[in-house]
Amino acid sequence: MSSPYSAYGIGMMSEKAYVSNNGMGNAGIAYQSPWFIPVLNPALLGGQRFTSFEAGLSISQNNINDETSRFIQVNGGLKYATIAFPIVPGKYALSVSLRPLSSKNYNIERSSSDQISDPQAAISRFEGEGAISQFSLANGWNITENIAIGAEANYNFGNITDRTIYENIINEGDTINIPYLVSAEYTDNFSDFSFVLGTNFRKKLGNNYLSLGATYDVQANLATNRNSFLQLLSLAETPLRAENTDNAFLEADREGTTVVPQKISVGLSYLKLNAWAILADVSYQDWSEYSSFGVSDNNFGELMKLNFGGEFTPDAQSGTKYYERITYRAGLNISNGPLVINNNSINSFGITFGSTLPISNISNVNLAFEVGQRGTLLNNLVQENYLNFNLSFTFNDRWFLRRQFD
């Protein structure tokens, strides 16, 4: 998603939840269904009975407002792809997936009146782009009828570029017009592993089930290589090269570490299989522990996130009325932080709706919509009103069945 708030750290963290969870406020740490691949808690994979493939698409519109202007950004593309298969059906299963971890996409311009240094640029433009992706291998094991554990290993890879372009110079109140731009840029390349542990307790209460799940994202110390260089650009922002010279790196292949803080999440669900479910999750992450090359970011604080949602299927076995086999979902999510800018916490709030449309006895199409708001107009900040549309296809099948007759 395009957002000026992605300028900080490793960018905007991507929502890990799949489309079926998106419709329920992105909740699901303790929610297990035979029709979908669980992603928020690896322990839930132990209940996998089908070999499942799911691919998700996302389109986002972000209306960015400040006190005087408004911008509209639209982004979209493949969100994730996952395959899960039971090794011992209902007991032990694996999943392999590719999904985003974070992304940057921002373009901010400041005039000399917004700056305090001297000499200073008449105009400074701050730009950034790039993404970090995850290749994930997860497994879950039902060690008893009620208790499950799981673990997930993620290989994180990608690169993020931050760039500042200076136009003209102001020195002691005088503007010095120069026929070129000065660009300071650095690119971080990430390549390292991170890990998630999960557990789930499930208890049958009459015809219903109560589940309590928890996950722990281990602090990730991501190996990072940084290339930094200074560049002269034409006014059209094309590189200028002096005769017989090239743009030289100020610093090439500097090795360092990016620290992504640990996260603790807990979820609760109460449900009746193939009928209805009520979910609630809470997550905590102290982003003040974030650092890059040993340098922390004072704009980060604590993150507290709440997710609530539910679903309802009128009659999953209906053979005559298709709409009764559709699953209907709704939810909301509230996030406090982690960004704190000009003493203002950058909070967000979203309302979600979704549904599952059966396309066969066991496969389906999933839809989810989210309308939300992020940020504030206080202290010269920006407020974002966003709309997300998510679509996924889940194909379930039974593989590796033992033949009963030869």
**How confident is the model over 378-392, as pLDDT tens digits?**
888 899 999 999 999
Domain of residue 74, residue span: 4-328
Omega of the bond prior to 239 within 30 degrees of 0, cis? no
User: What is the pLDDT confidence band of residue 305, given thresholds at 50, 70 and 90?
Assistant: very high
Q: Is residue 300 part of a domain?
A: yes
DSSP 7-42: GSTT-EEPP---HHHHTTTT--TT---TTS---S-G
Q: Is residue 74 part of a domain?
A: yes
Give the number of domains in the chain. Answer: 1
Distance (Å, whole) CA 336 – CA 303: 6
Tell me, what's the pLDDT at 238? 73
The two structure tokens encoding residue 366 = 């999933």
Mean pLDDT calculated for residue range 11-21? 95
Percent of the chain exceeding pLDDT 70 equals 88
Q: Is residue 366 part of a domain?
A: no
Contact between 291 and 301 (Cβ < 8 Å): no
Q: Is residue 244 part of a domain?
A: yes
- Here the CATH number for the domain that contains residue 324 is 2.40.128
Residue 63 has pLDDT above 60, yes or no: yes
Lowest-confidence region among 86-90, 239-243, 286-290, 346-350: 239-243
Return mean pLDDT, the chain: 89
Mean pLDDT calculated for residue range 37-55? 95
The pTM of this model reads 0.90
Tell me, what's the pLDDT at 360? 83
Q: Is residue 224 part of a domain?
A: yes
**How confident is the model over 272-296, as pLDDT tens digits?**
999 999 999 999 999 999 999 999 9
Tell me, what's the pLDDT at 353? 98
Measured CA distances, 177 to 124, 170, 183, 389 (Å): 14, 9, 16, 46
Q: Is 273 left (phi over 0), alpha (psi -120 to 50) or beta?
A: beta
**How confident is the model over 366-379, as pLDDT tens digits?**
999 999 999 998 88
Residue 298 identity = N
**How confident is the model over 101-139, as pLDDT tens digits?**
999 999 888 765 555 444 466 678 889 999 999 999 999
Distance (Å, whole) CA 247 – CA 19: 45
Residue 246 has pLDDT above 70, yes or no: no
Q: Where are the alpha helices (DSSP H) in 228-346?
A: 322-325
Q: Using the 8-state DSSP alphabet, how is residue 314 labeled?
A: S
Measured CA distances, 216 to 98, 260, 285 (Å): 20, 13, 10
Measured CA distances, 5 to 8, 105, 282, 323 (Å): 6, 9, 23, 41
Q: Is 266 helix (H, G, I), strand (E, B) or coil?
A: strand
**How confident is the model over 195-205, as pLDDT tens digits?**
999 999 999 99
Q: Using the 8-state DSSP alphabet, how is residue 320 labeled?
A: S
Q: Is residue 302 part of a domain?
A: yes
Measured CA distances, 398 to 51, 123, 146 (Å): 6, 61, 24
Q: Is residue 76 part of a domain?
A: yes
Distance (Å, whole) CA 334 – CA 313: 26
Which of residues 344 and 232 earns the better pLDDT score? 344
Q: Is residue 356 part of a domain?
A: no
